[in-house]
Every structure is written in C-alpha cells, then in structure tokens.
Structure 1
C-alpha cells in the first residue's frame, strides 16, 4: 500500500471542517499512536505497582504457626471483624419437615436438612438427640467466628450452632410473645433479655476449624470475657463460679480442628461443658449461664447477623404447634 493510500485508509479528511494537508494527517496518526502507547505503559505500570504492594503486604504477614495463641484466643469471644458478614443461613425460616413420628409433641424443625455453615464448610445436625423425642434440642441458627491478620489473611477459627428445645420455648415465652409479628419481635430488646432470663434449655456447639488454638488460651479468654459480662450484669455476683468454670479446661485437653465443644444451660441454672461428647465439668450459676449465652444472643454478640437469625427462628417456633 502506498503512503497516500495508508493516510487515506486511517484518516477521513472529509470529517474535518477545514482542509487538511497530508503532512498534518500523518502527524495526527503519529500523535494518536503515541498517546495509545503511553496509555498502555501507564496501565502496565499501575498493575505492577499493585502487585508489588500486595506482595509486600503478604510478606509482612507472619506465618500462621507464628501467630500467638493469645492473639487467636482473644478473637474467640469478640465480634467478627469482617464488615461484610455473610448471611449465616440461606433460608432462616422454612417449613418444618414431616417427621415419621405422629406424636403431636414431637418438635418441628426450621431446617429441612442438616445445614452447612458456608464459611467453614462445617455441617450441624438439625437435632442433637433422636428427633422422635419431645425434648429434642432443635438447631435455631449457625454462624462462624473469624479474625483478620494484618488486614490480608482471614482465619475462620470456629463455627457454632445454637440449639433450643421448642417445648421449653413455647411454655416460657409463648404466653408473652406468641401474638407478636416476627419482625417486631426481632427488634424488641425485652425478647432477647427474656431468652437469657428465663433459664431455657439452651446449648451452643462450637466446632474448631483452626489447628492453632490451645485449651489454655481459650480458657483465659473465656474467663476474661465472662468476667466483664458478669460485672456488667451483676456486680454482686459470686465470681468463684468463673474460676470453677475455667478449672475444667486442663492443659492435657487437645482441641485440634474438628473438636466439638458444647456448652449446655439447664433449666435449673447449671452450665455443663462437654468436649467431643465427654462432660468435663459443670457449674451451677444462673449468672454464669446468662453471661455465657449473652456472648451469642445478648449485647455485642460474636455475630450480630447470627443473633438476628436465631431470634427469627425462635419467633417461628413460638408460634408453631
């Protein structure tokens, strides 16, 4: 192709409102080529800077095995750092599944099948006991506890599931709240207070998802968090119950990934601790029970979203027969 044809093929001289000489057209083409080349170079430079920044951030994050056990444990009872908290249950309230037992006292469930906590991939059983038992504890919500290291790495420390007995809920909370619309109930602070005050049969199951936790660090942070909540709830409480609770977590107990730690509140105000189905201790203290479950359904919970899901599901169980 001749030079004149090249110019004509790239520049339509008739687009301009003034005559253009061929030399001007060539200059225009060269200017556009230079501008495009500079733009590509700037984009490549920006991408390179971003990669270097990310590499530097990753480089200063300590290896996971070097993260202190106390740093990990401190986040066990504190609220999730992530601002983008994913919904903990895709369908927080669904129709109860049809149970094989026709006994009307058998509790219905809010889950059609055993749900999986999405952040950790840990599955929780809908019932902790035989689902034909009227006293079977039913899963009312799941969540996870995570922490962020240097704003780069995310560690999912454990998943948790909260269980309640529908019969107990209806008997103790039904007369007061059965007529409340669910959305109003979820915004009612008295409802959350009554969930803690009525000494319901409640159980929370923690499933460890990270291998770097030690039982000693977990014990220390539980004692610290519970001590602060006890002081706020009842400054005159007998804090000896807290030391008794902490003494159950002896150094010979291992809690690798997959370990199940259950905390069960009985209707007479006893807090029972089990690890992988084996009871390691029990403390009779209504104040301690209230302070412990306050971490999950009270003020400043581990997961605010999980607290809302639990309230929605409990409201559904109150109104069901």
Structure 2
C-alpha cells in the first residue's frame, strides 16, 4: 500500500475517511463511497491508461452517460484495479468483515457462474485472515486485481486496547489467487446491477466517461 505522506487525498464526505488520489503502483483514485450494511469506507482505483485504451477499443465514442456495457468492460477486462476498504467506526472483528464480504462475493460469483455457488472460491479472498483479529477505525483492507486475473488481498490492522493503540500491523498479504471468475466476480460486486455501493459505482462511471 505504501506511504501516503505528501500525496493529495480525497475525503469521503459521509465518513471523513481520506483516500490518497494515487497509489504507490500508479493506480489513480476514480471513486469513493461507503459500503451498504457495513462500516467500511471504500476507494476504487484503476490503471487509467490501460482502462482508457480498453474503453476506446470496446466502446468507441463516449456515450451520454455511463452504460451497463461500460461497467461490464471493466468487470471483464484484464486491467489493473484496486479496492481499498477502511474501517470507519469502532471495532469490528475480522469474522464480521469476512462474513459480510463473503455473502456479497458469493452472490456475485453465483450470478457469473450460471447460478452455481462456489463456496471454496468465495472463501479464498479473505479466508486466510484470523477470525479473532479486531480491526479498529483506520484499519485498511486492500484487494488488487493484476493482469492475468490475479487477485491479491492485503491488510493493515490497527488494534486498540482500552482506547490506546497498542499494535499497528505492517501490510500483510492475506491471499493471492489467480482465477478469472473470482477476479471478475469481485469487481462485479461494485459494478454489477446490484452494487454493494451504488454511489461509488456512479462516481466510477463518471470517471470512465472522462477517459474518452
């Protein structure tokens, strides 16, 4: 994830969570939002140069407003994307985060897999993280899709004890999975017909239009 010092940030207005406008690997922030049914601020990043090339190849001219076809190009395309999730309030156990996350991801996989569930695939993204970890405000979970449909999950936990920070984990790789269905389904959660964050999807759509 890298340091965000001296890097401009964008603030998600409902939560006050700050997201760097650019990650260490060069991906740019295209959208911020707040996941429904959870206390996670989200930032969606992309390799905009590759995304611009993909949009111009697949779509051609810019439509008047974001279309389902545009979002589908993002879901299906083998282009770099990153989702950064930040714990907003209080303290959540990793088990709570995983359950909410896996419920949504499982539904997304089912939609793209001909109506068939795949619990083993669903659990691969965050299954390696200990359920007992307590994530305080400011803890970060980051999921990155790299070319080759490789999905990597990293975490940085801020653990609180009696309202005092006693442990600040370094970036820890939770999982690395090379699977096209999983990579597509993960971002389908955000860009599909029933996104986990409608506002983040709409904001990302407007950023796509600007790429034309």
CA drift of 1:159 comes to 0.9
- 1:99-125 deviations in whole A, cap 9, x for unaligned? xxxxxxxxxxxxx94211111111111
- 1:42-87 deviations in whole A, cap 9, x for unaligned? xxxxxxxxxxxxxxxxxxxxxxxxxxxxxxxxxxxxxxxxxxxxxx
In structure 2, what is the Cα distance between the partners aligned to 1:144 and 1:225? 15
1:125 equivalenced with 2:20 (yes/no): yes
Which of 294, 299, 321 is equivalent to 2:188? 294
Change (3 A) 1:191 1:230: same
- In structure 1, the residue matched to 2:128 is 248
Gaps of 5+ in 2: 1-6, 157-170
Gaps of 5+ in 1: 1-111, 130-134, 148-155
**Equivalent position SS for 2:9:** coil
**Equivalent position SS for 2:123:** helix
- In structure 2, the residue matched to 1:279 is 173
In structure 2, what is the Cα distance between the partners aligned to 1:233 and 1:195? 14
In structure 2, what is the Cα distance between the partners aligned to 1:283 and 1:246? 11
In structure 1, what is the Cα distance between the partners aligned to 2:123 and 2:22? 32
**Equivalent position SS for 1:310:** helix
Q: Which of structures 1 and 2 has the larger relative contact order (alpha carbons within 8 angstroms, sep 6+)? A: 2
Q: Please identify runs of 4+ aligned residues in structure 1 that moved more than 4 A.
A: 236-239
- In structure 1, the residue matched to 2:28 is 138
**Structure index of larger Rg:** 1
**Equivalent position SS for 1:313:** helix
Change (3 A) 1:167 1:238: same
Which of 112, 123, 129 is equivalent to 1:233? 112
Aligned residues: 191
Change (3 A) 1:258 1:192: same
User: Which segment is superposed worse, 162-171 or 240-249?
Assistant: 240-249
Judge conservation of contact 1:237–1:287 (CA < 8 Å) in 2. no
Judge conservation of contact 2:29–2:43 (CA < 8 Å) in 1. yes
**Equivalent position SS for 1:200:** coil
In structure 2, what is the Cα distance between the partners aligned to 1:229 and 1:146? 15
TM-score normalised to structure 2 length: 0.81
**Equivalent position SS for 1:141:** strand
Which of 213, 216, 220 is equivalent to 2:95? 216
1:172 equivalenced with 2:54 (yes/no): yes
CA drift of 1:311 comes to 0.9
Matches within 5 A, 1:256-271: 256-271=136-151
TM-score normalised to structure 1 length: 0.55
Change (3 A) 1:288 1:192: same
CA drift of 1:223 comes to 2.1
Change (3 A) 1:308 1:234: same
